[in-house]
Structure 1
């Protein structure tokens, strides 16, 4: 039997067709606009059955048995486990206030309705502290889009004449987008790739800029200067629809290609030729990605990239960057129930916490501050849903100290992780093929596609929605969670759009609630205070931030930059491979066989100087800690930099890149630390480590 659904093994949310035999998932195939022989394969999807039926799955609730042998866990039923969670939450609310309980969301459950459900529960409970990881992911970038022209754009890749991919490798991270790039290239589109690593996508490009890690904002400003200086901008669009052009021009003039090229590891000709190709090839779109995230200057760097779209008149035009038309939905989060005088723990980043009506709180590092330093007040109990902060959050040692200080830690996950090992209560979550939900794309864009349950839950695992709803009812929130099925909640949320779960199931390719329109700004303006694209932002100026990107100058984006003599290399957090998603799925043999361990990529020139060969065990260190990992000689990176494989701390703490990263320096707007790139030292180990 064939069934249609949406895969959530990563954040791409690809539409898939799965094969079911005798109630078991046996295969999954991604749907694509390309012929099968041209379709980008996905190792995770090929291993979907291995992941789903892994013997390492969590299949029953666990409660720590503090009187048992080795302080381990005992199995429990859902009634006992959820009652225990609810009792602890009510205890802390009574003794310390509801705000002493926090909920931390990872990406594994997606950012659509599961985020709304968790927010609804916590807000009704009385705590504002529902924390996401958006300060190191897309939400910081989304804020930059919103402050520039009101919403995060969607690149119209298939219809573009020029595609500029900035800090993204969709071959690994978003196969449908990579399909679109291939299709556009066959139609003659030009391709620009900006990436410090020579990826297969970079090898396809007409222009590849191997930028110095973290310096994307300088490059964007130099391109802006070139486009303005050579009068390549869209005069009519800028005159009618942009605010602060003269201020932008003045600031950009301090970042000319000739002045800053050496700082970027580029030439002035590289920069100017790239700006010319992008500005003179119409229509053009920009695919910005996670390479811009996790950098200290992420907010201004992304704002500058956004302004390139507007300068060239490519906003909301066919083949350019579309302003989305989100489906109208009910706001389910119940923020109005929170006391007006109760600040969240992210109160030092108020603009970031309030720029979007329901994105909520994403200054992730504030959670660790609240636990360890008790500011603005202490967090005593934490529920972690579909995340692994013990490995994936910046400065692992500090994060683990915080998790161990908590009085109660609850973890909701598919597999046992470094975080569940520290928990008091572990709740087993269902996999993506075992639950029905609305993903982020279904709520942010006009096309609504249902992730539909195609198999029964494995063991006694529960879908995220059911865990949240049942916990809410145990907290006395029966009126807030009246739905016995997820279909009831989805129908309630989609009612303003006139859509239902039944209708979505009958249209597995999705339903567009409205026709896609371009140049909506002509009749509606932009969703900014001025109604225009804001090259200069009065809101930012009023809050003490530069109105124009880098209007207050450009500081080094690298942690420990002042200690370059002791830490001479730039360490780069490795690209996401397509076999794993962050720290997930590394316990699945079918995937580990393909990629059994991670490496430190080092340039041949640096390897020769350090007398390093392939397989040499290296120690990489920063003032915070060190990792040990084998060397791989590669010229796909620039001399003076190393590329460290990401996510392997879940397999062995000696391989955890977050042993190295710094959380003391943060972007003042978005709380983003510099954990994508940092200064470090590289040495040969004197003796080999024992195997893991």
Structure 2
């Protein structure tokens, strides 16, 4: 602790603090224009100058480190005069109309504070750009603080802005010299967020347009970024990033801008019942009474297991807890699942089987502590952009990077090693890496001796998987496999992230188990900067499964057989004894005529599932399809019989659970429109009509969460009171002092339920989906930066201008051979269906391989994907489909 005086008053500071931080913490109103806490200080604007006793001239407080005994004067007449002079120089060629139009801009407020008038036209014609749908550029307002340049470089890592020329002709412009649309900008908005003048600005709602601010959690990917939602007159008008350990004051293009859907004109705000080929608007009473009667009839005629219930990654933990309780206690079935089935259930299954806990082992805070990253089947800069930016920054500062992906993703450009594995060959590749680690003596012998079993048998099993033996089959040079194995094993701590490129295969679960083997061999578990960490695709997919939306486990991923007695005591009833069906088994049951009803909320099942033809056949067999959503999605349009209008994330309270096991608050910023209601209200109303008012009479999300904490010991310490101000990872059990710190890192001294883990011998089994002369290309599907899943939210706003359509990426050599040109519309045909897509010739894909996203409902790319599934978790194999391509 250091001691100093500020304007004669004693204060303390931490070693390494900048003087500006200390002054602001001491409530001194120090003006500053070039400073932003998210980037390194530059001291360029000279507005934060102060006097320090013993120093011959004023110093910039943002670049000055506090020292013991420092005596600071912050507002002497000389300092205030110097600030006035510096501000006058900045304003001399600044447009007065900008000040009049937006007086709340930080620079404009300072002009008013010091009585400085803007002077007029700039020194030279400045760069302006109207090309971007999210960001506007008016560099006649630029004061050369260079915050835009620094934040793009140091926070996002996109290097879009550049300082051009020198002297009085110095100006900021696109680094590539063209328009912002063509600059490599990813539309994160960080430059607009930091700009003090409006030289770069949001084309949508500006922060000044909001009259109320609400802290909440982003509704897109599973990173769990915190944001401040600005509203006015009952509508969301702007979103700003919040300073938080997850996102460090940063948001991506979806989290920051793609909120327009909330007030889209086609939002459904009234309950509806199917009436012939159309829909009939009804009251809540009629819709709920009709649905309760239909479910009772089906249960009475066909049994409780003829009904399936699907939780939602879009809904809160509280709502997912209630819906699985409804399935088990009201309907009487374990037929409950969620969209985790089609994405990361293989991750959870593999992690639980081998380590005891089916969740990420480490938190995002460890990114800055890792010495090496192993990215497997994930594309974070597009699909989890804030985590991607943090990884990129860590690599730019010296961390090693290995990327395992068939495509050359953005982060592959920064990698020391890119292993462009053949789709479907993940198990081969990771077995080969493990074989190299053992053969070359790179095993962490101490860790294995203390905590790992089965090394000798595992080494014998891997002799058939030497890199030279499997190189041709997995499509990667043996030397590169060995280099990656050496780098990962010798760069501890090494942190592994993986995505759907690992899990959406016939050996998805086993592929993740093969990754865990690598971490066990090298000791990259139980320590900061290491671990095996699935990047969850949706905001609360981790929470929906953890709350019990899974047929074989209850809340907290507790097996039914082990936790039955406790839940029955707390719930006051008997749990069903029959094995439940997962999502894919429900569809199989519907196709066979055994499942008669399905309730899905916040989940467009028809649009999302693989093999659309089979999905349509199954859904078409159902007697009752209840859809609970914001819009009439594709499932509702084609198969729905009941539609319940739900409140959005901006209109309800509760909690989400992100990828690194944080439980975070969601808060209503605006009221729901019309008769739309939160999911928890709808579930309770339906339960009461089916004779189960007791147990479904909570007065709000907090009361529901308090019951969750009772049935889930590992989350019992996560009270709403603590979640208001703390970012906590579960496990976080209750302690007498209510202050368990949470558990950012799992498996520090032992694995869940065991002191040792066993290496898993995973034989490679090729997918049945193979190319042949009729279907010579391998198609991989995935997400893109600008859109999300079925496009329900992102296509109802200006993101549609940033990426208007799904595109088929093809290697230049293949396009030349087929006589196809960029932008050509092509027909893509598989053994299961066909679609038409615009072609994009891309060097990021290898010859013989193709890639497309699946966001446009009208294109319905899942017409192509196969019926093959993960052998253990039943997750569809979205990542390998044999196709042919012809001109449309």
Q: TM-score range by the shorter chain?
A: 0.7 to 0.9
The one-character-per-residue Cα deviations of 1:339-373 (angstroms, maximum 9, x if unpaired) are 6652323xxxxxxxxxxxxxxxxx42211110112
SS across alignment from 1:185: helix
* Runs of 4+ off more than 4 Å: 32-36, 38-41, 328-341, 508-513, 516-523
Equivalent pair of 2:779/2:850 in contact (CA under 8 Å): yes
Distance 1:273 1:503, change over 3 A: closer
2:55 maps to which residue?
A: none
Distance 1:49 1:148, change over 3 A: closer
Equivalent pair of 1:600/1:644 in contact (CA under 8 Å): yes
Distance 1:392 1:10 in 2: 16
Distance 1:149 1:450 in 2: 28
Distance 1:432 1:630 in 2: 33
2:361 maps to which residue?
A: 154
C-alpha displacement of 1:63: 0.8
Distance 2:446 2:777 in 1: 46
Distance 1:255 1:4 in 2: 51
SS across alignment from 1:419: helix
2:531 maps to which residue?
A: 321
Count of aligned pairs between the two proteins: 631
The one-character-per-residue Cα deviations of 1:419-456 (angstroms, maximum 9, x if unpaired) are 111211101111111111222339x83x4321122221
SS across alignment from 1:427: strand
Distance 2:643 2:832 in 1: 30
SS across alignment from 2:219: coil
1:357 maps to which residue?
A: none
C-alpha displacement of 1:181: 1.1
Distance 1:683 1:78 in 2: 50
1:195 maps to which residue?
A: 405
1:428 maps to which residue?
A: 645
C-alpha displacement of 1:287: 0.6
Equivalent pair of 2:780/2:852 in contact (CA under 8 Å): yes
Mark the structure with the bigger radius of gyration: 2
2:218 maps to which residue?
A: 7
Distance 1:53 1:269, change over 3 A: same
Distance 1:166 1:175, change over 3 A: same
Higher relative contact order (CA 8 A, sep 6+): 1
2:17 maps to which residue?
A: none
2:741 maps to which residue?
A: 515
Equivalent pair of 1:214/1:558 in contact (CA under 8 Å): no
Equivalent pair of 1:7/1:433 in contact (CA under 8 Å): no
Distance 1:508 1:498 in 2: 12
Equivalent pair of 1:198/1:210 in contact (CA under 8 Å): yes
Equivalent pair of 1:40/1:171 in contact (CA under 8 Å): no
C-alpha displacement of 1:622: 1.5
Q: Mapping of 1:47-66 within 5 angstroms?
A: 47-66=257-276
Q: Is residue 838 of structure 2 the alignment partner of residue 673 of structure 1?
A: no
Distance 1:635 1:32, change over 3 A: farther
The one-character-per-residue Cα deviations of 1:308-356 (angstroms, maximum 9, x if unpaired) are 11111110112112899x9x999669775566652323xxxxxxxxxxx
Distance 2:311 2:744 in 1: 34
1:114 maps to which residue?
A: 319
Q: Is residue 351 of structure 2 the alignment partner of residue 172 of structure 1?
A: no
Equivalent pair of 2:328/2:575 in contact (CA under 8 Å): no
Distance 1:74 1:463 in 2: 21
Q: Is residue 886 of structure 2 the alignment partner of residue 683 of structure 1?
A: yes
C-alpha displacement of 1:105: 3.1
1:25 maps to which residue?
A: 236
Distance 2:663 2:251 in 1: 25
C-alpha displacement of 1:177: 1.8
SS across alignment from 1:154: coil
Distance 1:517 1:62 in 2: 45
1:527 maps to which residue?
A: 752
Distance 1:267 1:95, change over 3 A: same
SS across alignment from 1:316: coil
Equivalent pair of 1:646/1:656 in contact (CA under 8 Å): yes
Q: Mapping of 1:199-598 within 5 angstroms?
A: 199-321=409-531, 336=568, 341-345=577-581, 363-374=582-593, 378-421=594-637, 422-441=639-658, 445=661, 447-494=662-709, 497-505=716-724, 507=725, 514-515=740-741, 521=747, 525-527=750-752, 531-536=755-760, 548-550=761-763, 554-557=764-767, 559=769, 561=770, 564-598=772-806
Distance 2:742 2:700 in 1: 32
Distance 1:612 1:491 in 2: 60
Equivalent pair of 2:343/2:504 in contact (CA under 8 Å): yes
The one-character-per-residue Cα deviations of 1:398-423 (angstroms, maximum 9, x if unpaired) are 11111111111110111111111121
Distance 1:72 1:526 in 2: 55
Distance 1:462 1:9, change over 3 A: farther
Equivalent pair of 2:216/2:229 in contact (CA under 8 Å): yes
C-alpha displacement of 1:570: 0.5
Equivalent pair of 2:361/2:525 in contact (CA under 8 Å): no
Distance 2:547 2:268 in 1: 34
What are structure 1's unaligned runs of at least 5 residues? 346-362, 537-547, 686-692
1:539 maps to which residue?
A: none
1:656 maps to which residue?
A: 860
C-alpha displacement of 1:171: 1.7
Q: Which stretch of the first structure deviates more once superposed, 454-463 or 334-343?
A: 334-343
Distance 1:176 1:113, change over 3 A: farther
SS across alignment from 1:405: coil
SS across alignment from 1:291: helix
CA RMSD of aligned residues (A): 2.7
The one-character-per-residue Cα deviations of 1:266-317 (angstroms, maximum 9, x if unpaired) are 2111111011111000111101111112111111111000111111111011
Distance 1:508 1:474, change over 3 A: farther
Equivalent pair of 1:621/1:660 in contact (CA under 8 Å): yes
C-alpha displacement of 1:499: 4.4
Q: Is residue 820 of structure 2 the alignment partner of residue 617 of structure 1?
A: no
1:356 maps to which residue?
A: none
Q: Is residue 849 of structure 2 the alignment partner of residue 641 of structure 1?
A: yes
Distance 2:429 2:411 in 1: 20
2:182 maps to which residue?
A: none
C-alpha displacement of 1:235: 0.5
Distance 2:422 2:648 in 1: 39
SS across alignment from 2:802: coil
The one-character-per-residue Cα deviations of 1:18-74 (angstroms, maximum 9, x if unpaired) are 1122333211123356999x97652223334412111121111111123xxxx2111
Equivalent pair of 1:28/1:46 in contact (CA under 8 Å): yes
Distance 1:672 1:75 in 2: 36
Equivalent pair of 1:18/1:28 in contact (CA under 8 Å): yes
Q: Is residue 332 of structure 2 the alignment partner of residue 124 of structure 1?
A: no
SS across alignment from 1:145: helix
SS across alignment from 1:292: helix
1:104 maps to which residue?
A: 310
